[in-house]
Structure 1
Amino acid sequence: MKQIYAFENKEDFEKFQDIIERFTQKLLKYQYELENKYGLRDLPKGIVWTSEELATNIFSQVPIPAYTSKDIIYISPDLKSWRELFVSQLEEHNNPNIKEFYENMSENHLFTIVGHELTHHSDLFVDEFDDERKDSIWFEEGMCEYLPRKILLSEVEFNEITKVESEMVEIFKEKYGNHSLDEFGKASYQGSLTSIMFDYWRSFLAVKYLVEVSANNDVKIVFEEYLKWDKEGRKIPLTQYFKLDSLLN
Structure 2
Amino acid sequence: MKQIYAFEREEEFVKYRDVTHRFGEKLSEYQAILEQQYDLTELPKGILWTSEELATMFFSNIPIPAYTNKDLIYMSPDVKSWRRILLSQLDGKDLPDVQEFYENYSENQVFIILAHELTHHSDLFLDEFDDESENGIWFEEGMCFYLPRKILLSEKEFNEITNAEIQLFEAFKDKYGKHSLEDFGSLSYQGSLSSIMFDYWRSYLSVKYLVEDRANNNVKQVFNTYHQWDREGRKVPLTEYFGIESLLK
TM-score in terms of structure 1 length: 0.97
Amino acid at match of 2:213: V
Corresponding position: 1:238 with 2:238: yes
Q: Report if aligned partners of 1:146, 1:208 keep a CA contact under 8 Å in 2.
A: yes
Task: Return the alpha-carbon distance in structure 2 between the equivalents of residues 135 and 59 of structure 1.
Answer: 27
5+ long unaligned stretches in structure 2:
none
| Residue 113 of structure 2 corresponds to residue 109 of structure 1 | no
**1:79 lines up with 2:88 in the alignment:** no
Aligned counterpart, 2:194: 194
The equivalent residue for 1:140 is: 140
RMSD, aligned α-carbons: 1.1
Q: Percent identity?
A: 66
Inter-partner Cα distance in structure 2 for 1:191 and 1:79: 24
Q: What secondary structure does 2:144 align onto?
A: helix
Aligned to 2:18: 18
Letter in 1 for 2:148: P
Q: Is the 8 A contact 1:79 1:107 kept in 2?
A: yes
Alignment of 1:214-229 (within 5 A): 214-229=214-229
Summarize deviations over 1:205-227 as a string: whole Å, max 9, x none: 00000111100000000000000
Structure 2 Cα separation of the partners of residues 192 and 40 of structure 1: 34
- 1: distance between equivalents of 2:185 and 2:94? 29
Structure 1 segments, 4+ long, off by >4 Å, are none
Whether contact under 8 Å (1:34, 1:40) holds in the other structure is yes
1:174-201 residue CA offsets vs partner (Å, 9 max, x unmatched): 1111100011034543332111100000
1:174-185 equivalences in 2 (<5 Å): 174-185=174-185
Are the counterparts in 2 of residues 139 and 207 from structure 1 also a CA contact under 8 Å?
yes
| Equivalence for 2:124 | 124
- Deviation, 1:108, is 1.0
Structure 1 pair 70–219 and aligned structure 2 pair: CA distance change class (3 A):
closer
Contact 1:68–1:74 (CA<8 Å) still a contact in 2?
Answer: yes
Q: Which runs of 5+ in 1 are unaligned?
A: none
For 1:70 and 1:204, how far apart are their aligned partners in 2?
Answer: 22
Match of 2:212?
Answer: 212
For the residue of structure 2 that corresponds to 1:129, the secondary structure is: coil
- CA distance in 1 between partners of 2:167 and 2:186 (Å): 25
What is the alpha-carbon distance in structure 2 between the residues aligned to residue 76 and residue 172 of structure 1? 27
Structure-to-structure mapping, 1:28-177, within 5 angstroms = 28-177=28-177
State whether residues 134 and 186 of structure 1, in contact with CA within 8 Å, keep that contact through their aligned partners in structure 2: no
Per-residue displacement from partner, 1:96-144 (whole Å, max 9, x unpaired)? 1111100101111101100000000000000112322312000000000
- Whether the 8 Å contact between 2:75 and 2:114 is mirrored in structure 1 is yes
Structure 1 letter corresponding to 2:9: N
Q: Alignment partner of 2:93: what SS?
A: coil
Residue 2 of structure 2 is matched in structure 1 by: 2
TM-score, length-scaled by structure 2: 0.97
1-side partners of 2:44 and 2:190: how far apart? 26
